Amino acid sequence: MTIDFEHIIPQKRMENQLGKNNLKSYPVSSLGNLCYLASIDNRAKRDKTIYEFVENRPSFIVDKDYLNLINYPSKEELRFIDYSLLEFNDKYKEFIGNRLDILFKEFKELVKEKYN
């Protein structure tokens, strides 16, 4: 199976939300906006979040274990996606900051486990 780095909030979705000119000032490919996803699923979901993608695919199971495996945020964390531009701006920055904190914490724990 081939695995991709995937944008949690897809680039096309952010472009639609922010406008192409504003997109350059956002950390779209920030580590905080990435996860791992099987290539076949990545390409099929296009500009949707995982939650939107699975709404019409009952055979695609999204449970807590799967979400943890691909390091995907909760549905609650992504509620801001369709907010107005001003709200989106603040919430996206908060989302990225929180995700980076979580990822750095996980990384430190893994390194600690490996070398202790």
Q: What is the pLDDT of residues 40-98, one digit of tens each?
A: 888 888 889 999 999 888 788 888 898 988 889 999 999 888 888 778 888 988 999 99
pTM: 0.79
CB-based contact 12:47 (threshold 8 Å): yes
pLDDT at 39 over 80: yes
Instruction: Summarize pLDDT for 65-81 with one digit per residue, the tens.
Output: 989 888 899 999 998 88
Give buried/exposed letters for 67-82 (b at 16+ CB in 10 A, else e): beebebbeeeebebbe
| 14-20: average pLDDT | 82
Confidence (pLDDT) at 96: 92
